[in-house]
Amino acid sequence: MVDEKVPLCVWFTAPPDLFSEVIDAGAKELNTSPFLAHVTAIGRVPHVSNSELLRTVEAVAALSAPFELETGDAVAGEQFFQCVYAGVSPGGGGDAAEAVHLELVKRLYVDKKEEYKGPNESYMPHLSLVYGDLAMEMKRAWAEKLNSVSSSDECPLRVKGRRWKVKTLDVVTADLSDVSSWKLVASFPLLGSQGGG
């Protein structure tokens, strides 16, 4: 059973071997904390118990088909949780990620007559590379460095064009004061069929 006091988020977790080196390098270079590589499906849902959140995520995962995500260029953002990130490339699985996100919003907010307000005007699937409150010039310099590296698969700092198959919907602890403390709580396989849900 999950402690009801621990805030949770829902992720599409990336395989550690794809992004751990670039996230660790960014943390070292910019004096920030490393964290698990992921694309957020939905952030904390304060009006729902953790046990209800887990049941809802399991139900949505059962309806959702596995899909691929592909990252685009590194970008310097303006928010702590979008400090330096890679967006999902056009045609790189963003529609499938958004469909899961919208189903979670429907079940966790709309059906409960709660207003949903995410960090952006609309859902923006992205993989964060650095979290922090940093000067824009530092963030831009790191993003430019990542975008200038070799496009070879062997280059550990390559961001653009990295692909992975999303097979699970993961629930993680979300203590915003310590991103390095995040832990996987539950992982639900995506069981839906391709082309329909």
> Could you state, in order of their start, the residue ranges of all structural domains in the chain?
8-189
Q: pTM of the predicted model, to two decimals? A: 0.90
Q: How confident is the model at residue 4 (pLDDT cuts 50, 70, 90)?
A: confident
Tokens representing 7? 């805030």
The CATH classification number of 8-189 equals 3.90.1140.10
Q: Which strands, in side-by-side order, build the sheet including 67-79?
A: 163-166, 67-79, 82-88, 126-130, 38-42, 8-13, 168-173, 184-189
pLDDT 10s digits, 31-77: 999 999 999 999 999 999 999 999 999 999 999 999 999 999 999 99
- Give the per-residue pLDDT at 140: 97
pLDDT 10s digits, 78-105: 999 899 999 998 777 889 999 999 999 9
The closest of 42, 13, 19 to 124, measured between CA atoms, is: 42
